[in-house]
Amino acid sequence: MIRQGGRMAKRFLVSAALIAVIFVALTGCGNHPPEIAGVTASPSTVEPAEETNITCTANDPDGNQMTYDWESVDEATAYMGQSFTWIAPIPDETPRTYRFYVTVSDGQGGVAYDSSLMVTVDYAGAPAVTLREPTDIGWTYVTLVWTQSQHPTWKTYQVYTSTSPGVKDNGQLIQIPNFPESRLDTSITIDDLEPGKTYYYAIAVIDSADHKTFSNEVAVNTRYFEILGQTSLGGGHGNRLASISNHIFCAVLEQSVKGFNIGGNSIVSGGNIVKPIPEAVAWDVYRSSNLLHVAFGKAGYHGYLIENPLNPIDTILTGGDVFTLTGSDYAEAVTVYAEGNDVFVGCRDQANQVHTITWLEIDLAGATAYVRGVDTLYDVPTDIHVDGNYIYVTEGNAGLEILRWDQNAEPDLAMTSVGITSTNDEAKALFVSRDYTYVAAFGEGLMIIDVANKNEPKRAGQWKADEGNQAFGVYVSGDRAYLADGEYGLRVLDVTDPKTPKHLGTIEVGSQIRDVWVIGQSGASTTAILADWYNAIYMVEWE
């Protein structure tokens, strides 16, 4: 029972012996005062606004009925009863101790006092959150995710790290500006880590009293990454790659096509192709069997025999000029694909705004190429791939177009458009794998198109980086997609489910990566060649 009123005036100014004398003198009888056995609070330490049960255990030798009166020096509320529930106030500062006084009376003049009970009010600290096992681990970063704190006195989260176990005792606080904005911010990406190194992390919850409670500790092993070799392109712009055995060819625009031997951890120059005319620009290169096919801009299409990659031989001498390809002297051959003796050349004509794809059949014995079909495209062709009787073309802002290829039809009917889909930004390159086409869609990152129905290609999935994309090239091997992402470097994605591609990591390399070609995979390690727009070619390895 609680009784409202002022504080009692008793301050224990007389000793127990003197009280007994006064009692006997006043009553003139043998009444005995109550005896207090103990005063308890359960629990004796509580958080603000929490409850505790306060009890006095007393005995009256004469069997008289006892009453209990309570007060606390720091409160204006009095309490009655042998026990009562006390709700802790919210003090200005913690910890704070409250002393309780109890007076036990027997109704016959007998009185007993106790002032020994102390109750501490303090914040115990917000409960620890759970730091989950990281799944987004790159070569130089990790994304940490933890459960949300529901504690009412939550103030902030802090991230601690160490290079050895024992973050709680030895960890260093990571200073993260403007984080977190609220208790809902339960993830953070830590950058600038070293590849192939182990880090330990824990999350501390800080409450309004600045108590700190640590989560569980997790260990993070960053992915291994190494640049095995790099070399200059002689002052040109690296754009596209093609490979044969341990030899790689790079279309280097104004510097023609440059060949490189790949051996061990080195890239050695060799097997360069001389420009057919001074104004030729090597936009694209593709290999089929022992032929290297080049889209040479105003010089049109050229084919080279590369039985010896160190000594390419100009084999297709006629039939590949731009006028033969398109009927226009203003056209430029900008992309090429080949399958057996069938070659497909994509041309742009900026003067007339007419862009085309031409199907050539090459005659090695006659060193010439014959036009078998021409079709007009929606936009500038950037990449071509043929799968069965269908041709896939990425076309700048038009997206991905699919054409049916009929080898027995007349030239004007040999290639006919059957489907097209937008990629929301410039479609730069493609890779076809079964029922999906992977498109490097510049600012839209990786776009995955379901092409099971050629007449109605549709978007199946997409991966787009928060920091931006400059997707120029794409290569797919197994359940991995490799995105040449311009100034952002090389992105590695898990495409086990093409509808939900997952980012595995980013390799920050070069200045503007335009193309990627995987040349080797052994166990968990992958080796690839990267073409950099700014005068470089790289060989990288990671796991």
Instruction: List pLDDT tens digits, range 75-133.
Output: 878 899 999 999 999 887 778 899 999 999 999 999 999 999 999 988 777 889 999 99
Architecture of 136-221 per CATH? Sandwich (2.60)
Residue where the block lists tokens 């990406």: 189
In the predicted model, is pLDDT for residue 20 greater than 60? Answer: no
Separation CA 325–CA 477 (nearest Å): 33
Which of these, 436, 427, 489, lies nearest to 461 by C-alpha position? 436
pLDDT band at 8 (very low <50, low <70, confident <90, very high): very low
pLDDT given at position 49: 86
The more confident residue out of 34 and 153 is 34
Which of these, 67, 6, 62, 5, lies nearest to 29 by C-alpha position? 62
Separation CA 279–CA 298 (nearest Å): 7
User: Is residue 347 within 8 Å of residue 323, measured between CB atoms?
Assistant: no
Element spanning 17, H or E:
helix 16-27
pLDDT band at 161 (very low <50, low <70, confident <90, very high): very high
Architecture of 2-121 per CATH? Sandwich (2.60)
Separation CA 13–CA 245 (nearest Å): 103
Q: Chain-wide mean pLDDT for the chain? A: 91
Q: What is the CA radius of gyration of the chain?
A: 40
Separation CA 260–CA 372 (nearest Å): 34
In the predicted model, is pLDDT for residue 13 greater than 80? Answer: no
pLDDT given at position 7: 38
pTM given for the model = 0.70
In the predicted model, is pLDDT for residue 437 greater than 90? Answer: yes
Q: Where are the domains of the chain?
A: 2-121, 136-221
Written as six digits, the tokens of 185 are 């911010």
Cis-peptide, bond into residue 43, ω within 30° of zero: yes
Cβ-in-10-Å burial (0-12, 13-18, 19+) of 122 comes to: middle
Please write the tens of the pLDDT for every residue from 483-496: 999 999 999 999 99
pLDDT given at position 223: 85
> Residue 42, Cβ neighbours under 10 Å: how many?
10
pLDDT band at 465 (very low <50, low <70, confident <90, very high): very high
pLDDT given at position 125: 76
In the predicted model, is pLDDT for residue 432 greater than 70? Answer: yes
Query: Do 136-221 and 2-121 have the same topology in CATH?
Result: yes
pLDDT given at position 378: 97
pLDDT band at 29 (very low <50, low <70, confident <90, very high): low
Task: Give the phi and the psi of residue 409 in degrees, each rounded to 5.
Answer: -85, 165
Q: For the residues 499-508, what does the mean pLDDT come to? A: 90
> Residue 137, Cβ neighbours under 10 Å: how many?
17
Please write the tens of the pLDDT for every residue from 244-302: 988 999 999 999 999 999 887 788 888 899 999 999 999 999 999 999 999 999 999 99
User: Is residue 131 within 8 Å of residue 149, measured between CB atoms?
Assistant: no
In the predicted model, is pLDDT for residue 15 greater than 90? Answer: no
pLDDT band at 385 (very low <50, low <70, confident <90, very high): very high
